[in-house]
Structure 1
Amino acid sequence: MSSNCETCMFFCYDEENEEYYCQVNLDEDEMERFMRDEYKECPYYRLEDEYKTVRKQM
C-alpha cells in the first residue's frame, strides 16, 4: 500500500499490547480484498487532521 498508515486517523496505539493497529472495522468480504492486496492504496485512509474542528469553529 502506498498510503502512509502513520498519518492515518485509524492507526492507533494499543498500550496493553504495546503495538500499533488499524481501527477500521471491515466485514468479511472487505477484509479478504484487503488481505489479498487488491488495492494500490488503502481505500480507508484518512489524514489525521487535529485542526479540522478548530477551523470549523472560526
Structure 2
Amino acid sequence: MFENTSKCEDCLYYEYDDEYGFYVCDMDLDEDETAQFIGGRFQNCPYYRPGDEYTIVRKQI
C-alpha cells in the first residue's frame, strides 16, 4: 500500500490507513506496478474503479 495523489482520490480502492496516517491504494500491486505508482507514473491504472462518497461508504459498512 502506497500513497499517491493522482486520480486515485476518487477511486474505490483509495482508502485511509489509520496505521500510516494517510490515504493509500488498497490493491495488491506487483513490483513493476509499485515502482510506477511510487514514481508517480501510474496514470492509467488498470485497477481504477470510480467511486463517489456514497459508493465508498457502502463498501465500508
Q: Following TM superposition, by how much is the alpha carbon of 1:41 offset from its aligned partner in structure 2, in angstroms?
A: 1.7
- With the length of structure 2 as denominator, give the TM-score of the two structures: 0.53
RMSD after superposition: 2.7
Q: Following TM superposition, by how much is the alpha carbon of 1:44 offset from its aligned partner in structure 2, in angstroms?
A: 1.4
Long gaps (5+) in structure 1: 54-58
Count, aligned residues = 48
CA distance in 2: counterparts of 1:40 and 1:16, whole angstroms: 26
> Where in structure 1 do 4 or more consecutive aligned residues deviate above 2 Å?
27-37
What is the aligned-residue identity percentage? 44
- With the length of structure 1 as denominator, give the TM-score of the two structures: 0.54
Write the mapping of 1:8-19 to structure 2, written as runs, cut at 5 A.
8-19=11-22
Long gaps (5+) in structure 2: 1-5
